[in-house]
């Protein structure tokens, strides 16, 4: 991934005397957090929301009838952690970006 102004650079590594170019990617995952080459968190937010919605779909398929207390327990154990993972890193970015003047 290229970060900064010099995005036309090419990087190489050598293995057994053979020089190979390192592929450039637009998005990378590190410690479970997705960051794109512009250091924006929109990919992390989208993937977290998608994973949380798929967990909610599994809960709906497995439990046809749920009382409120059971749903709260399942929500707090399976759904909420997917949305809140690494929120300390990306949440201030969006608060600043969308702050009303």
Per-residue model confidence as pLDDT tens digits over 43-77: 877 888 888 889 889 988 988 888 999 989 988 98
Return left, alpha or beta for 85; rule: phi > 0 is left, psi -120 to 50 is alpha, else beta. Answer: beta
Query: Against a cut of 0.95, is the pTM above it?
Result: no
The β-bridge relationship of strands 27-30 and 33-36 is antiparallel
At 29 the three-state DSSP class reads: strand
Beta bridge partners of 15: 18
Q: What is the pLDDT of residue 101?
A: 47
Q: Residues 32, 35, 39, 45: is their CA dihedral positive or negative?
A: negative
Domain assignments of the chain as residue spans, ordered by start: 27-93
């Amino acid at each position: 991934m290229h970060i900064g102004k010099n995005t036309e650079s090419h990087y190489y590594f050598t293995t057994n005397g053979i020089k190979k170019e390192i592929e450039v990617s637009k998005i990378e995952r590190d410690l479970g957090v997705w960051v794109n080459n512009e250091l924006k968190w929109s990919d992390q937010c989208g993937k977290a929301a998608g994973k949380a919605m798929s967990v909610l779909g599994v809960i709906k398929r497995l439990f046809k009838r749920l009382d409120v207390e059971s749903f709260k327990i399942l929500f707090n154990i399976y759904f909420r952690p997917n949305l809140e993972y690494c929120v300390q890193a990306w949440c201030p970015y969006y608060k600043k970006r969308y702050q009303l003047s």
